[in-house]
Structure 1
Amino acid sequence: MSILHYQAGTLFQDLQLVQNPRPVYIDLDFTLLRTSSLYFFFPQALKYLPFWIWETPSYSWSCFKEYISTRVSFQAQTWPYRPVVLEFINLCRTHHIPCFLATGAHRSVAQKVNTFLGCFQDVFGSTRECHLVGQKKADLILSRGQPFTYLGDSTQDFAVWQNALEIVALNPSSYVQKRLEKCALDWSKPLHLVYDQVP
């Protein structure tokens, strides 16, 4: 059974973070943000594409993210953050619940977001060697050795949700929602669906 949330307060209350304190990890693209952070690197990033192809021996996605994020300037303060997630983070901070940004975006992007927001205890992002999504993100969080809550949105987050105490999904697509409803039963986990506004 899925639980719908349209307000940060009800989500915070239902997760029982005060009664059962634990770290909260939050994805960036389409979770904390309404869109992908890569959107803000284009079209400027296109002019670097030929140089990246010429200079980079390994054409991995993580290498591309590092290449453009260290060459294209961006203003994190102008990005469209989800108010419901920001309010949820503020509630966590009020109750001394540590929040971490864990994103497939490059680490430098995550750091700049936190410089602006100032609400995360630490940030984790992709590097040249590691594209921090899926099982790699799950492994990193698990290596910290604590039960945790994770806010995500997409199929790339299933490996993390499988190891979290519950599933918290932001504006999931109908396809992702259907898969989550099945996984919630298979994993015996509560499913929390969070939406920006009442439809």
Structure 2
Amino acid sequence: MDNFTEDHASLHARAAGAQDLPLVVDLDGTLLLDDSLHEQIIKAFFLNPLGLIACLLHLRAGKLAFKQALAKRFPLDVTRIPLNEAFVTWLRVQLDHGRVLHLCTASHQSIADGIAARLGFFASCIGSDTANLKGPNKAAYLAQTFPDGFAYAGDSAADLAVWQKSQRLVLVGAKPGVAAAAQALGKPIEATFPRQAATFKDWVRAIRVHHWSKNVLVFLPLVLGHDWRDFASVAWVIAGFCVLLMMISSTYLINDLADLESDRAHWSKRNRPIPAGRIAIMPAFLAGCGGILAALCISFLIQPAFGTALLAYLVITLAYSFGLKQLPLLDTFIIALLFTLRLVMGTALANQVYSEWLLAFSMLFFFSLAAAKRQTELLRSIQSGKTAARGYRADDLILNAIFGISTGISSLIILALYFAQDFALNFTTHPVIYHRPGFLWVMPLFVGILMGRVWLLAQRGEMQDDPVSFVLTDRAMLGLGAVAAICFVLAV
């Protein structure tokens, strides 16, 4: 029996004896890492939720009618859907030895045709067109089409009915219970490809644990308010910080699902666990929705003002995922607003008065960083020969740079004006005197150097996709940040 870990030569040797029977291949969970129907549902959910509801109404006429409605309203781009590469390699070896391959799936005919055209090695391709070819329906169809016998490659419990009619079995990603039931049929098993389950590392990458450092902004009002000695304030901010991480990680899952097609076309995002198919669509969707609901409930229990700010964060994030991200400049404004909301949450958790200076600085500062991210993406698109990226066109490069650099300089001016006018007052209800306020002037200097370095590297095309992550990992910026922190301590 073949195993997916065997080398190419071994596969060729074993394929020589399997040419007599045609091999029929299932699509969802077998040839594809995930389910194409789930892909369509998620696409419809983010593209047109009302349209999805209209399609769901067709379920009254049966699952086939639902698939037909989805295929008509939300055609699926199958050119980048992740394939089971180990299984595809094995199929090519079978083809090299003269074996005839057929594709038979319960997915709509349009999806089956697209996958068959993409691979180019199937002698025939049949999907659900006039009947839903799943389980007993597929078994009856294949038994009639191949009266002299066939081998079948599948993965699910529904495929057991087909394996009962086939002469040989190929198990691809079958769960232990399904594999045991298939083996109990007593028929030859040509090959087994173990299920590729998502690892803990995949989930860590999907929820962006490496981006959690961005959320330390919620502690900034606590620090600037000199309330780090108040245990109750620190405890509430830490609790809110954990809830914020739950919310943001959950929205990352939802955002990845909303961006599936565009991320798969992206030079680096296509390697993320969800676009790459290492994490299945429905588990990601359920985990994202569950995390969002839990975070909202806990946030209002901690403090209503914090819960309201977190709810606003969620609404804006979803609006961004559902389409606002395609509107040039508005998308960068929203990113800046989401970062500023973190400061609003921190202020609410620390029970402090909101500072217009701090919020204005935050909006301008993070707008500039978001624009630098777009500048990087535009430059990469131009270098790859594309004319547009996420609503931006190649000729928007200069305008985006003007807005980004000007807002960065404006944030520096806001900070300097605040220090010049009244840096001796804190953002709480009572004044807090800095004993050596002159040390605070290193802050505008730090912001100016940071902005200059970010935009210089962005314009050169040397910036990573995320300038915030870059600032938090770049040695030069970390060194300057450490100096700024020391100066703040000396000023106190």
* TM norm structure 2: 0.36
Question: What is the CA-CA distance between 1:151 and the residue it aligns to?
Answer: 0.3
Which residue identity does 1:148 align to in structure 2? F
Q: Which has the higher strand share?
A: 1
Which string of whole-angstrom CA distances, capped at 9 and with x for unpartnered residues, describes residues 75-122 of structure 1? 212111011221122122222221111101011110011121111111
Match of 1:142 in 2: 143
Match of 1:84 in 2: 86
Match of 2:69 in 1: 67
How far apart are the structure 2 equivalents of 1:57 and 1:193?
A: 35
Match of 1:130 in 2: 131
Question: What is the CA-CA distance between 1:22 and the residue it aligns to?
Answer: 2.0
**Greater alpha carbon shift after TM alignment, 84-93 vs 117-126:** 84-93
How far apart are the structure 1 equivalents of 2:195 and 2:56?
A: 39
Match of 1:156 in 2: 158
Question: What is the CA-CA distance between 1:11 and the residue it aligns to?
Answer: 5.6
How far apart are the structure 2 equivalents of 1:12 and 1:171?
A: 21
Question: What is the CA-CA distance between 1:8 and the residue it aligns to?
Answer: 7.7
**How do 1:83-102 residues align onto structure 2 when only pairs under 5 Å count?**
83-102=85-104
Match of 2:183 in 1: 181
CA 1:28/1:57 → structure 2, altered by over 3 Å: closer, same or farther? Answer: closer
Are 2:39 and 1:51 equivalent residues in the alignment?
Answer: no
Question: What is the CA-CA distance between 1:183 and the residue it aligns to?
Answer: 2.3
How far apart are the structure 2 equivalents of 1:8 and 1:80?
A: 22
Please point out which of 170, 173, 188 is paired with 1:171. Answer: 173
Asked if the contact 2:174/2:195 (under 8 Å) is kept, the reply is no
3-state SS of paired residue (1:42): helix
Question: What is the CA-CA distance between 1:37 and the residue it aligns to?
Answer: 0.9
Which residue identity does 2:127 align to in structure 1? G
3-state SS of paired residue (1:143): helix
Asked if the contact 1:70/1:108 (under 8 Å) is kept, the reply is no
Which residue identity does 1:190 align to in structure 2? P
How far apart are the structure 2 equivalents of 1:136 and 1:12?
A: 33
How far apart are the structure 2 equivalents of 1:135 and 1:12?
A: 33
Asked if the contact 1:25/1:150 (under 8 Å) is kept, the reply is yes
3-state SS of paired residue (2:67): helix
3-state SS of paired residue (2:184): helix
* Structure 2 gap segments, 5+ residues each: 197-492
Identical aligned residues as a percent = 25
Q: Which has the higher helix share?
A: 2
Match of 2:22 in 1: 23
CA 1:196/1:50 → structure 2, altered by over 3 Å: closer, same or farther? Answer: closer
Match of 2:326 in 1: none
How far apart are the structure 1 equivalents of 2:12 and 2:68?
A: 34
Match of 1:37 in 2: 36
For the aligned residue pairs, the C-alpha RMSD in angstroms reads 2.3
Which residue identity does 1:50 align to in structure 2? I
CA 1:8/1:107 → structure 2, altered by over 3 Å: closer, same or farther? Answer: farther
Match of 1:195 in 2: 194
3-state SS of paired residue (1:102): strand
Match of 1:5 in 2: 3
How far apart are the structure 1 equivalents of 2:72 and 2:11?
A: 36
CA 1:12/1:108 → structure 2, altered by over 3 Å: closer, same or farther? Answer: farther
* TM norm structure 1: 0.83
Of the two, which has the highest radius of gyration? 2
Question: What is the CA-CA distance between 1:153 and the residue it aligns to?
Answer: 0.5
Question: What is the CA-CA distance between 1:14 and the residue it aligns to?
Answer: 4.0
How far apart are the structure 2 equivalents of 1:74 and 1:65?
A: 12
3-state SS of paired residue (2:73): coil
Asked if the contact 2:25/2:154 (under 8 Å) is kept, the reply is yes
Asked if the contact 2:175/2:195 (under 8 Å) is kept, the reply is no
Which residue identity does 1:100 align to in structure 2? H
CA 1:12/1:126 → structure 2, altered by over 3 Å: closer, same or farther? Answer: farther
How far apart are the structure 1 equivalents of 2:3 and 2:110?
A: 31
Which residue identity does 1:26 align to in structure 2? V
Q: Report how many aligned residue pairs link the two structures.
A: 187
**Greater alpha carbon shift after TM alignment, 158-167 vs 35-44:** 35-44
Match of 2:439 in 1: none
3-state SS of paired residue (2:61): coil
* Structure 1 gap segments, 5+ residues each: none
Question: What is the CA-CA distance between 1:53 and the residue it aligns to?
Answer: 5.0
Asked if the contact 2:30/2:155 (under 8 Å) is kept, the reply is yes
How far apart are the structure 2 equivalents of 1:142 and 1:109?
A: 23
Higher relative contact order (CA 8 A, sep 6+): 1
Asked if the contact 2:24/2:152 (under 8 Å) is kept, the reply is yes
